[in-house]
Amino acid sequence: MSEEDVVKYLQDTPDFFERNPELLEELTIPHPVHGGAISLLERQVSLLRKSTAEYRGEFERLVSIARENEAIMKKSRRLILKCLSGDSLDDFAEVVEEVMREDFAVNYMSMVLFTEQPLDTSVRTASWESAEPIIKEMLAQSGCYCGVLSVVESEFLFQSQSDSVMSSAIMPLVSFEGGQVVYHGVLALGSNRLNHFDKEKGSLFLDYLSDLLSALLLRLLP
């Protein structure tokens, strides 16, 4: 009988060791660490312990993610409710800055609205014609931009604070008209840590926040 025959027999007879339990103690295999012989039963117990530890670690990781997501949703809810209570662009900008600073621990924040006409607001404005050549690379990709800005981009968005910003998240504030994207502004978040905003970490929540803030902003624009 060949080794393949033995393997096939055991595969075809899954209850073999249930009917012959004494073999579990008699069979020996090399220890995975120190190389000494251990019984098949000991090896199975070792594998089960390893699997249990791995499952426990994965479970704890998922619980941690769930708690983090729950905290983010609570902060998002607070942002929505506070923005809805305001009735001006100044109220909107003030609420966003407060929540970003207090709830999301953002070091630097800048909001720029794109308009060709004067707006009744203290929020910084710029024409799309002047802003597009500077930030078009960031807005060319789908969703939010995360990473390090060029000197020109950083100076445009963060002005006097640009030298302190090491990484950024740029959220477009947009609407969709006739199948086209219309840019109404950007919200720029900055950190003094180089990898705080990193595209490798993903931007799902930032994309969600961008959509949310865009909808809240549109109700206040003339």
- What per-residue confidence (pLDDT) applies to 26? 61
Q: pLDDT by residue (tens digit) across 145-176?
A: 999 999 999 999 999 999 999 999 999 999 99
What single DSSP character describes residue 33? T
Q: pLDDT by residue (tens digit) across 28-77?
A: 555 554 555 545 556 566 666 777 778 888 888 888 878 887 888 888 88
- What per-residue confidence (pLDDT) applies to 29? 54
- Say what the alpha-carbon torsion angle 64, 70, 73, 77 is, to the nearest 10 degrees: -150
Residues 49/39, Cβ–Cβ less than 8 Å: no
Q: Where does the pLDDT of residue 118 fall: very low under 50, low under 70, confident under 90, or very high at 90 and above?
A: confident
Residues 197/112, Cβ–Cβ less than 8 Å: no
Give SS3 for 17: helix
Q: 11 or 17, which is more confident? A: 11
How distant, in Å, are the alpha carbons of 80, 99, 175, 214 from that of 219? 13, 19, 11, 9
- What per-residue confidence (pLDDT) applies to 97? 94
- What per-residue confidence (pLDDT) applies to 202? 67
Q: Please write down the HEC assignment for all residues of 47-68.
A: HHHHHHHHHHHHHHHHHHHHHH
Q: 128 or 60, which is more confident? A: 128
The total number of residues written for the chain in this structure: 222
Q: What interhelical angle do 89-102 and 204-218 show, nearest 10?
A: 160
Q: Where does the pLDDT of residue 14 fall: very low under 50, low under 70, confident under 90, or very high at 90 and above?
A: confident
Percent of the chain with pLDDT over 90: 46
